[in-house]
Amino acid sequence: MTSFSLPALTLATSCPRDADVVIFGVAESAGKPVLVGIPDEIERRTAKLYGRPLLAVARDLGVEAKPGSTVTLTGTGGVRLVAVGLGETDVTPEQIRRAAGNGVRVASGLAGDRALRVAVCLDAVEPEVVRGAAEGALLGAYRFVKLSGQEPKDAIGSITVVSSSAKPEARRAVEAARTLAAAVCLARDWVNTPANTLYPETFAESARDAVKGTRIDVEILDEKALERDGYGGLTAVGGGSSRGPRLVRLDYAPRGAKAHLALVGKGITFDTGGLNLKPADGMYTMKCDMAGAAAVLAATRAIAQLGLKVRVTAYAAMAENMPSGTAYRPSDVLTMYGGTTVENVNSDAEGRLVMADALARASEDSPDLIIDVATLTGACMVALGERVAGLMASDDEAADHVLDAAESAGEAFWQLPIPDGTRKKLDSKVADIRSGGNRYGGALTAAAFLHHFVPAQTPWAHLDIAGPAFNDEGPYDYVPTGGTGVAVRTLVALAQSLQD
């Protein structure tokens, strides 16, 4: 599997003289646009070149302070200048993250035969803002490396974040940004890889390779071990494919850790719907149905690389959902890990079955908090759209932990309820529980099903990332077309909060 390589990243107190592209901001102050971060020397030279102030030139070309606005112009000496809208002058780390991402995406389109040297000059000073600029720039540089016989060319060779702060905190922020961006891009690569290349066996081995050199222990259960140990969800869902299922367990247990976080991710490497076959249009992007597993695996690596003092145990439940003579059927009764029997309602609701196995296993580790991440329901997309993920939890305290982490990471989650009576919809006449209810409140019913496999005393939250995990449209901000790597940054921020 090919993978994206991050550009070199440095922090500097002044704009490098050899920069090919300089990114600066346009913000709104007292109702008027102002330039932000552009080095004085570059502004003077450019004003002399055009015979007018740089702001006037940029405004004539259509730049606005509105976030998402970009304009490209040529400075002296062949340097390209990219103006990006920031919004208000009192910026947040997420505003800077988005602006840097927009600027670097535009810069990528200017590349020719050689990789460009890019300077991000957005007047970042505080460590959180410096980190936002670095993260946005690296994530904006991402592109999936095509499976091709031709040697890929890098569009961006290096990125320099310019900040007047030379404090150690700023440098540590840049280092953390690189680790986190690498994890997000790893998750993106996994999601974007075609399913004939990334299937349970190869996904599991890629996860093992990804954590080499860290203090993470790895355990992989193949189809024989899963059948032996009673993982009825994974063996049923994976039973229709010639490529057997896997359960990957990562365990990071640093000295001094006082909290234990369990992460569970849905890893359906391709979802045809099984015998409840999806329509053709609904199947094309189903290589992304393992984005939850990608997120928890990549986040665990980043947590270990950052040296966070929190124990993390991650489970990635991997299977390929295919129709065949050995596929499981609607109305089948499955025995899950731990002994619970489940009446299968719909073979296209397979994710909750593999997640149930993994949640039951994760509960045996007695963690302080369990978070599961899954591209679980179209119903959540209907409710929240394509850019907001759903959050359902055992209690408001667990939900608040996740929402606070998401806010600090700059990712959009919205809490949905699990109303009283939802569990009743899952009552079965032939098993302990049904895998689904009626057509209404599908995201809530799915969450209620998953919660059944978590002990009542264990705090738990479910992240339904079906909407934002894969971007079918054009890129925006630091988000590319294809896999987005959503939830990685939130999970790392959550681990950070648990050690504080």
Q: Which residues of 12-31 are buried (b: 16+ CB within 10 A; e: fewer)?
A: eeebeeebbbbbbbbbbeee
- Annotated active-site residue 352? The verdict is yes
pLDDT, tens digit, 9 for 90 and up, residues 62-113: 888 999 999 999 988 889 999 999 998 888 999 999 999 999 999 999 988 8
State the virtual CA torsion across 213, 215, 221, 225 in degrees, nearest 10.
120
pLDDT, tens digit, for every residue of 168-187? 999 999 999 999 999 999 99
pLDDT, average across residues 456-460? 97
Residue 1, pLDDT > 60, answer: no
pLDDT bin (cut points 50, 70, 90) of residue 205 is very high
Question: 118: pLDDT confidence band, cut at 50, 70 and 90?
Answer: very high
Residue 271 confidence (pLDDT) above 80: yes
For residue 87, what are the β-bridge partners? Answer: 27
Overall average pLDDT of the 387-391 stretch:
98
Tokens at 357, concatenated: 């196995």
Q: What is the pLDDT of residue 177?
A: 98
301-344 tens-digit pLDDT: 999 999 999 999 999 999 999 999 999 999 999 999 999 999 99
pLDDT for the residue numbered 149: 61
Of 278, 309, 423, 425, which one is the catalytic site residue?
Answer: 278
Helices and strands, number each (H, E), in the chain: 15, 20
The Cβ-side half-sphere exposure at 182, using a 13 Å CA radius, reads 20
Q: Please, which pLDDT band fits residue 261 given cuts at 50, 70 and 90?
A: very high
Q: Are 464 and 390 in contact (CB under 8 A)?
A: yes
Q: Of all residues in the chain, what percent carry a pLDDT higher than 70? A: 99
Q: Domains of the chain by range and CATH?
A: 8-164 (3.40.220.10), 190-499 (3.40.630.10)
Kindly report the number of other CB atoms within 10 A of residue 51's CB atom.
8
For residue 150, what pLDDT is reported? 67
3-state class (DSSP) for residue 365: coil
Average pLDDT along the chain: 96
Q: DSSP secondary-structure letter at 213?
A: T
CA distance 442 to 433: 16
Per-residue model confidence (pLDDT) at position 89: 82
| Mean pLDDT computed over 237-248 | 98
pLDDT band at residue 500, thresholds of 50, 70 and 90? Answer: confident
Q: State the Cα–Cα distance between residues 234 and 224, nearest whole angstrom.
A: 11
274 φψ region: left (φ > 0), alpha (ψ -120 to 50), beta (else): left
CA distance 88 to 429: 59
- Which tens digits make up the pLDDT trace of 287-299? 999 999 999 999 9
Per residue in 132-162, pLDDT (tens digit) is 999 999 999 999 988 776 667 889 999 999 9
- Indicate whether this model's pTM tops 0.95: yes
Q: Are 69 and 84 in contact (CB under 8 A)?
A: yes
Of 178, 352, 361, 434, the active-site residue reads: 352
- Establish whether 278 is a catalytic residue: yes
pLDDT for position 294: 98
The arithmetic mean of pLDDT across residues 379-397, rounded, is: 98
Strand partners for 24: 83, 121
Per-residue pLDDT tens over the stretch 212-230: 999 999 999 999 999 999 9
List, in sequence order, every residue forming a beta bridge with 343; answer none if it has no partner. Answer: 333, 434
What is the model's pLDDT at position 439?
A: 87
pLDDT band, very low/low/confident/very high, at 390 (cuts 50, 70, 90): very high
Instruction: Give tens-digit pLDDT for 24-63.
Output: 999 998 888 999 999 999 999 999 999 999 999 988 998 8
- DSSP letters along 291-324, please? HHHHHHHHHHHHHHHHT-SSEEEEEEEEEEE--S
Q: Where are the beta strands (DSSP E) in 30-88?
A: 32-36, 70-74, 80-88
pLDDT score for 326: 98
Asked if 23 contacts 119 with a C-beta cutoff of 8 angstroms, the reply is: yes
Q: For 143-154, b where at least 16 C-beta lie within 10 A, e where not — what string?
A: bbeeeeeeeeeb
Please tell me the predicted confidence (pLDDT) of residue 78. Answer: 87
